[in-house]
Amino acid sequence: MKKKIFLIGVVATIMISLLSLLCACGNKIPQKYVKEWDEKAEYSEADYRVLEVGEEVRILQLTDIHYDNSNNRKEDTLKLLKDTIEKADADMIAVTGDWCYMAMIKKEKCKEVFDIIDSYNVPWASVFGNHDAEVFVTKYEFADMFAEYKNCLFESGYSNIGGVGNYTVVFRNGENILGAAIMVDTHSSVRMFSSKYESLTKGQIDWYRWTVDGLDALYKQSGGDQEVIPTLMYTHIPLNEYADAYENGVMVSGENKEKCCVPEENTGMFQAIKDKKSTKAVFCGHDHANNSEYVYEGVRLVYGVQSGWCKNYADDCIKGGTMAVLDGKDVRIEVLAWGD
């Protein structure tokens, strides 16, 4: 019996090693996605996408759809997505990762969901979850798929700052800029199937500071009257300060039914957010049983409501989407609970 258990362990270790090697081989950057950032460069039109909106912008966050073998309610998931998108009447949809996990037919499963979202002719943006490119499909293959959809705003971003999919969407009403959404890739586990997560890089944090400076210059040129351009940040894995907020912040709404699974090291993105005074709220996913909103040191830290199911994990929690309404000054946040 012990010998059998030992052999199973050896086989499992070999399989994980082979999968890790496969993923590592897929991390080479295709030439068409090589784009190097120079912090001394001037911020330009090439650094952001533009979305024309009215006097306010409505952004629907969907997260952790998990349209895969772990999802025991696939038909409900598709209905949830359709119902929530129709209810939201959003100007933009922001999907904060974990589309699909460990499915041999991951591309086909993802495209089924992409097709539904794109069919509503609402511009949509995405960041990656820790499971999306963990095996079988790389982030660059995802980028190729995203490029097939006319309403998808995804950009791979600069290839030398860390991650894939650090980019910006500017909200413009005529000649006036209302604000922007900053999309940030929070990477994956430190190794496959680990619950220890990579941290944001110094390059990403420097890029964020540079981006806010560039956006604010555009905002002021367009007649913006706030101290600094109002922005929202969308990520998958929560910043370390989500855990601090749970202990010392002010809860606004929702609940946390599990611990905040944050990166191993705090590399300083929250400090950059405080320094720049631009980002009104950060939205993440990842921890399916959490749907809280906290105010911590002046910044709203929001867990998006899960938009799918995983068998035996957060089954009894609210499902649906999270709506943010940015009016050029502040942001209003509302949970769109499916079934209500």
Q: How does the average pLDDT of the chain come out, rounded?
A: 91
Measured CA to CA, the distance from residue 209 to residue 163 in angstroms comes to: 16
Q: What pairing do the DSSP bridges indicate for beta strands 293-296 and 299-303?
A: antiparallel
Buried b (16+ CB within 10 A) or exposed e, 277-294: bbbbbbbbbbbbbbbbbb
Query: Is the pLDDT reported for residue 73 higher than 90?
Result: yes
- Would the pLDDT of 199 be above 90? yes
Give every strand in the sheet of 231-234, ordered side by side: 49-52, 167-173, 176-183, 231-234, 279-284, 299-303, 293-296, 250-253
Give the largest Cα separation in the chain, rounded.
74
User: Looking at domain 31-337, which of 3.40.50.11890, 3.40.50.970, 2.40.50.140, 3.60.21.10 is its CATH number?
Assistant: 3.60.21.10
Which pTM was predicted?
0.92
CA dihedral sign of residues 236, 239, 243, 247: negative
Average pLDDT over residues 52-79: 95
Lowest mean pLDDT among 3-7, 48-52, 76-80, 279-283: 3-7
Nearest to 187 by CA among 178, 177, 196, 179: 196
33: DSSP letter: G
Residue 324 has phi, psi (to 5 degrees) of -120, 130
Q: What is the pLDDT of residue 190?
A: 56
**Rounded CA gap, 115 and 110, in Å?**
9
Write down the domain spans for the chain: 31-337
Which residue is associated with the tokens 């400076």? 213
